[in-house]
Structure formats: structure tokens, C-alpha cells
Amino acid sequence: MHIYRLLVQALALLLILALPAGATVLKLATIAPEGSEWMLEHRAAAAKIKEQTEGRVVVKFYGGGVMGNDKKVLRKIRIGQLQGAAFSASGLAEKYPDIVLYGLPWVFYSQAEIDFVRTRFDAELMAGLKEAGFVSFGFAGGGFAYFMSNTPLRTQEDLKGKKIWVPAGDENSFSALEMQKLSPVVLPISDVLTALQTGLLDVIVTPPSAALLLQWYTKLDYISTTPAAYTLGLLALDSRAFERLSEADREVVATVFTETYQRLDQINRTDNEEAEEALLANGIEMVEVNKDDIPYWRSIADQANQENWANDAVNPELYNELKKALQEYRDAGGQPEPVADASE
């Protein structure tokens, strides 16, 4: 794997160093740090695009959050300073609220359910993004997010008084926590590590891979055994910039990035398994959640999801359509009960 990464980096460097005269440059931002699997895949995609368009299209990635949080990135896209970015779903909610559909809290029981509903709703969400002014190339699932904290969180009572992170743009999780009279703190992803270091946050909800990649785990001691939400990422390219490319070059860009996100979608599943093992090896302890509290959390989340979706969504019926599809899957013999353990 180490040799593979070196080869990918060398290829990307050789193909991107020279910028041909008249090339169209697509500048894209991401929070992913340099050297991560995410950045390696994106830089490899940039190298392929430059090669296959014979230098007519050059993609430049700005990693590590150097372009600022999602709101700043969206502003830079609007004024043309950037042409796109790799976002979490909540990061694009300002422009297209329905994009958070898969990330609604306490909806899914298993990865199998995610796979099932994505066959039905991915295309609709991509079409909605296009209407909102963005071209995308598929979702890369980030895996299930779990509570991570400095003290064991087993029950509803354990959450009281704790400052709980909510990603900027995630109105549904914010409402669900407020309904439980808990203490949500809204912050962009880029501010989480500092907030943990300074005590602004006590609890985060995150996939193991993100906790490891972004170094959040270094300020935490425990991870719960029950998933609270599903996460995903996507590349969103400003439609205006994409349409300025020739038809042939648009096809190259779309093909390369689609293949990249299909690959990342699979890679991320393995990464989360490996990240969980790494967290445990670094002293993070697993905490068994009180199963009697889970139905309460799900009922409160459903109420928040229903209310927010009715008020804010582009398609007010989409959440109910999702629930109907899930029920069909469960009635047909799919996963009947919530996943109870992060290791299952």
C-alpha cells in the first residue's frame, strides 16, 4: 500500500506540474488532509483528467481545509474563485436541502438498508443538485457515525449537560437534540478539533474513519456501540464551470470522477473497519448503549425529521417516500432490528 501511494503521488506530480497554455483550470477544495486515501484518489483523478484531455483540463485540489469551511467555500464558488469542492452532505444543505436525506438521524439500521434505498433515490438527489446549480458524480458513503466522548455515554441521562457537536447545516440533528433538552453546538467540520481541545465540545458523532483521519480521536476516550446516523461525501462542481468545457472534455471529467467515487464508496467501507480497529488499539474504549433508550431516540428523531422536512425540503414528500421504501425492505425480510454494535 505504501508503494502504491508513492506511485500515485509521483504520477500526479509529473502530470500536473506543467500547465499548458490555454488550459481550463478547475480549482476544488476539500477538508481531507494530504496523504489520506481520499486525497490520493482525487489527485490520481486529476492526473487522469489532464492526461485524457491532453492538458486542456487541469484540476487543482486544495486539501486540508485551507479554503475555509463549507460556507466560505460556497461563497468562493459563487464568485468564481473556486469551481467546486468535495462536501459532506450537510455542507451543501444551504444550496440543496434534500441532499441530507441519507444523513437524517436514527433512520437506518444497517449498510444493507443504505444500499437498498440508494438504488431508488441517488438519481433523484443528483437531479436535484443539478437544479441547484451543481454537477456531481455519485456519492461516497462515509459509513455510520457513532457517539464519541470523554466520558462513557450509556443512557439518555449521560447525554444531559454535555456539549454535543452538530455539523453546520444539519438542522435535523440540531432539532432532535433540542427536543431532548440536550445541548447541541453547531460548528463546521474544520473547527471540531479546536473545539475538542478547548472544551467547547464534549461529544461528537462521527464515523471511525473521520475521527482517525482528522485526529479527533486524540481528544476522546470512548465510542458508542450503536450508530446514530449515516454519512456521505460528494464532489460538487459548479455547473457554469462544467458547461464551459467542450463536450468531449465534460465526458472525460464525468467518467473519471464517477469511477473515482464508485471506488471511494467501496474503499470507505473497509477504511471504517480498519479505523475502528485503530481507535481501539489507541486506547479508545467501546461503550454499550442502553437498548431501552434507542426507541426514544428514534421517535424524537423521526418527529424532528418530519417537521424539518415539511418546512425546509425541496420535495416535502421525499422523507415519507424514504420511510416507505425502508418499510418495504424490512417487510420483505431485510434487517428487522437496529444494528446494536459498531463491530457487527
Domain assignment of residue 293, yes or no: yes
Q: What confidence score (pLDDT) does residue 344 get?
A: 43
pLDDT given for residue 16 in this prediction: 47
**Domain for residue 279, yes or no?**
yes
Cell numbers for 68, please give them. Answer: 475555509
What is the predicted pLDDT for the residue at 291?
92
Residue 343 lies in a domain: no
Rounded CA separation 251/237 (Å): 14
In a domain, 340, yes or no: no
So what's the pLDDT on residue 335?
Answer: 59
pTM of the model: 0.86
Question: Side chain identity at 101, as an amino acid letter?
Answer: L
| Phi, psi torsion values for 134, nearest 5 degrees | -130, 145
Residue 292 buriedness (CB in 10 A; 0-12 / 13-18 / 19+): exposed
Q: Assess if residue 103 is contained within a domain.
A: yes
User: At residue 273, what is the residue type?
Assistant: E
pLDDT at 3: 55
Query: How does pLDDT run along the chain (344 residues), one tens digit per residue?
Result: 455 555 555 555 554 455 555 789 999 999 988 888 899 999 999 999 999 999 999 999 999 999 999 999 999 999 999 999 999 999 999 999 999 999 999 999 999 999 999 999 999 999 999 999 999 999 999 999 999 999 999 999 999 999 999 998 899 999 999 999 999 999 999 899 999 999 999 999 999 999 999 999 999 999 999 999 999 999 999 999 999 999 999 999 999 999 999 999 999 888 889 999 999 999 999 999 999 999 999 999 999 999 999 988 899 999 999 999 999 999 998 655 554 444 44
Residue 338 included in any domain: no
Handedness of CA 74, 79, 81, 82 (dihedral sign): positive
Task: Give the CATH number for residue 80.
Answer: 3.40.190.170
Domains held by the chain: number: 1
Range of the domain at 285: 2-331
Q: Is residue 70 part of a domain?
A: yes
- Specify if 342 maps to a domain: no
